[in-house]
Structure 1
């Protein structure tokens, strides 16, 4: 068996396991000490790990001092799961900085406010002169995956492929979104893309 075939089989098994766990949310994980952790808590902790540090250097060059401060405050409120604070900060913003929208989307996602995150995503996409980019694609697929919106995930994936936006993070988000939705074929498509393009599969992409 070739190395690539082995990797594909192992990662496909991980994808299938994630889909099964998604389909049966009552299942629990048992820690070494015997204490069971509900799957919903495991997924919540994992969901908080989607942060993409690339925002620290991309889209921030043209931010004002206040916007840079706002992205920091949004990120902190999101990590704390403080939706009231996120909503308050975002509600006061009327600018068009892409990085601020990314931070607000991420904060809403961390607070498990996926519909609100989708609204922020749609607002960003409607900004004049918006250009598709890997960060928006990554976060959009994660959000719509949580909402079970297969059409939006598929459209974002097609756009990413057509515009050469398929970074490791974007392809990982495609796999993650598919697993969140129980879409084994979609997850396999993302996995195949990773293998064909020499992007090392990683089960941390799973929800």
Structure 2
């Protein structure tokens, strides 16, 4: 299972001050561009890709609808993603399918889409329906992040994920339970089949996210 670490610079100065060596143990860097004002994203983009040249990068524009910091119309959302993708070719592009499904057809040219679903309130009863619908669209990766309000929610997500793996062996996916109960799900890929987990460098980008150092330590114990 690969570890993704988000970077969330709020301006060019923060990006330039970021020590890339601190992310040496990360397998993939996620650039959370929504921490920047909309008009600064394309200005800061070249510095991001230069700083992490040679590293795998996931480009994410997380909107307020799914727990992010930027509010965009469907067209602005697609336009910004496509501009960054055309100029810098990130290895993966996050797309919030359920929040922007009306413009999904404009993203079909990209084979490296991560179709994501986020629920910061609950673990939905139709978890399997959601992940199956996203899979039917043939993305590179399906990402499901849902809130765990009880221990049972965590076990449900792990069971759903294991069942999904058995039904869709060819689909890469990353599932996780958010919140304090959900930490176990973030290191359980060896059992559930998740290809990715998310860890933090300093500030967590989601509830229950563990540090890069601790996540790496847990995975080394579980996978070896």
What's the TM-score bracket when you normalise by the shorter of the two chains?
0.3 to 0.5
Bigger helix fraction: 1
The answer to which structure, 1 or 2, has the higher relative contact order (CA under 8 A, 6+ apart) is 1
Bigger strand fraction: 2
Output the TM-score relative to the length of structure 2: 0.30
Instruction: Please identify the structure whose Cα radius of gyration is greater.
Output: 1
